[in-house]
A and B are shown apart, each in its own frame.
Chain A
Amino acid sequence: MLLEIKTSATSTAVDYFPIVIQFVFAAGFVATTMFVTHILGPHLKTKKKLKAFESGIKSVGNARQPFAIKYFLTAILFVLFDVEVIFLYPWAVNFLDLGMGGIITMGLFMVLLLIGFFYIIKSGALDWE
């Protein structure tokens, strides 16, 4: 019930066909432009030009080195919260039809979620120095 999306007309696969046309169009444009610029521009490659740019000094080591764990934590938290936001979409569409029962159910869900949210803030997972 909660996961049914109510609309006046149901889309079929054929309705999505213009999206395919648009994609072919866009991808064709990108591929053509890439190819043409590859042909047109000059090709004067030197050893120093092809090095990674590091503000004019000699580049040190490999660029693919470890970076702050905070970014990883942010990504994990994003996945958790985004799933929750996706759950809210069908509920919001059917908001009026579900009435009080829907509010209470979703309220419970939100409270649990907010407890988790306060926990991650308190534990300092979102603190950046």
Chain B
Amino acid sequence: MVTLAQVLPAIILIVVIFALTMLVALYSTFAERKVAAFIQDRVGPNRAGPGGIFQPLADGVKFFMKEEVIPVLSNKFLFILGPSIAITASLMTGVVVPWGPDITLFGKTYPLQIVDIEIGILYVFAVVSVGIYGIMIGGWASNNKFSLMGAIRASSQVISYELSMGLAIIALIMVTGTLSLREIVEQQHGWHWNILYQPVGFILFLVCAFAEANRTPFDLPECETELVGGYHTEYSSMKLGFYLFAEYINMFISSAIMSTLYFGGYNYPGMDAVNEFVGPVIGPLIGFAVLFAKTCFFIFFFMWVRWTIPRFRYDQLMNLGWKGLIPLGILNLIATGAAVLYFK
């Protein structure tokens, strides 16, 4: 049986990671508007608090206080279920990410990872795939043409890009020989980052991550010029908030996964010397800070691309996915296999 003492560290970590995820998601919305403003030579939100720092809180309160509208023709149960699934699925993925090396507190060692399962990557894939049900159910339940079109586009796009993402991951697994995220990170100790062995795989993964998170240039599902708001046209109040939050949490988690898989996670050059110098409590925290910095860079990269590259047309999107990325993924797979056999 499971005792409380066994699960207490996990529960504390769950609460901390949950709070962190929420904070990052809140401030990503703010950061997005500030980055957009910077790129377009504007000021951005600057009224709430110094430099607009309380803007996300004001937005949050607004989400709570607005009227929730459920259209008469919609399916009420599914209408509420859609955003709930979307955000629950996105909150579930952070469980397997190793946020830092083992930390020693009061003479006991605790892992900075909520659960270390041997099929870590598969778990992430499975849970991310559930997220699309949220969009599909919400879009269908709205009984609105824009919503339905957006939902169909979203699911079609996500499943197409999932294939190339899987191929990119398989090439990575051939190099690492394990599916556990913890082991993959440990193998990248110091500067032996997987990006050095899998540059093409990383590009593939990055492009697919953009498509999976429905971010520009692949944001066809919520294309304003054609579909008003896409799958969340009919949504208001916190249900709309949940969809938007789910997108930002997905962005955060996929940035963390990218850093973990390809950029060494919490590893950095010269970490052994630093760890010896600062001890077993501060050392892991520096590792966590390093992972967080890498994650923040990728979040910034997501925003940078959004305000730089225009949106694709739908046929271009599908052609890129099926005729560009899948053959590239298979080629990468073959090249990786040959290289691994030759060098090991």
Contact = CB atoms under 8 A, between A and B. Distances in A.
Interface of A: 5, 7-11, 14-19, 21-23, 25-27, 29-31, 33-34, 36-38, 40-45, 49-55, 62-65, 67, 71, 74-75, 78, 81-82, 85-86, 88-89, 92-93, 95-96, 103, 110, 114, 117, 121, 126-129
A63 B151 CA distance: 13
Nearest to B90: A26
B337 A38 contact: no
B144 interface: yes
Interface of B: 2, 7, 10-11, 14-15, 18, 63-74, 80, 84, 87-88, 91-92, 95, 114-119, 122, 140, 142-149, 152, 155-156, 159-160, 162-163, 166-167, 170-171, 173-174, 177-180, 183, 228, 233-234, 237-239, 242, 314-315, 318-319, 322-323, 326-327, 330, 333-334, 337, 340-341, 344
A10 B118 CA distance: 7
Nearest to A14: B2
B323 A121 contact: yes
- Classify the interface of chain B: helix, strand, loop or mixed: helix
A92 B64 contact: no
Contacts of B315: 127-129
Given A30-B84, A31-B84, A52-B234, 14 more contacts: A14-B2, A15-B117, A18-B115, A19-B95, A19-B114, A21-B14, A41-B66, A75-B159, A85-B166, A88-B166, A96-B340, A96-B344, A103-B341, A127-B315
A92 B174 contact: yes
Given A53-B144, A82-B163, A128-B319, A7 B170 contact: no
B67 A21 contact: no
A31 B146 CA distance: 27
Given A53-B233, A110-B330, A95 B177 contact: yes
11 contacts: A5-B118, A15-B117, A19-B95, A22-B114, A45-B69, A50-B72, A51-B72, A78-B162, A92-B174, A95-B337, A114-B330
Given A55-B228, A89-B173, A63 B319 contact: no
B122 A89 contact: yes
B315 to A, nearest CB: 4
B337 A103 contact: yes
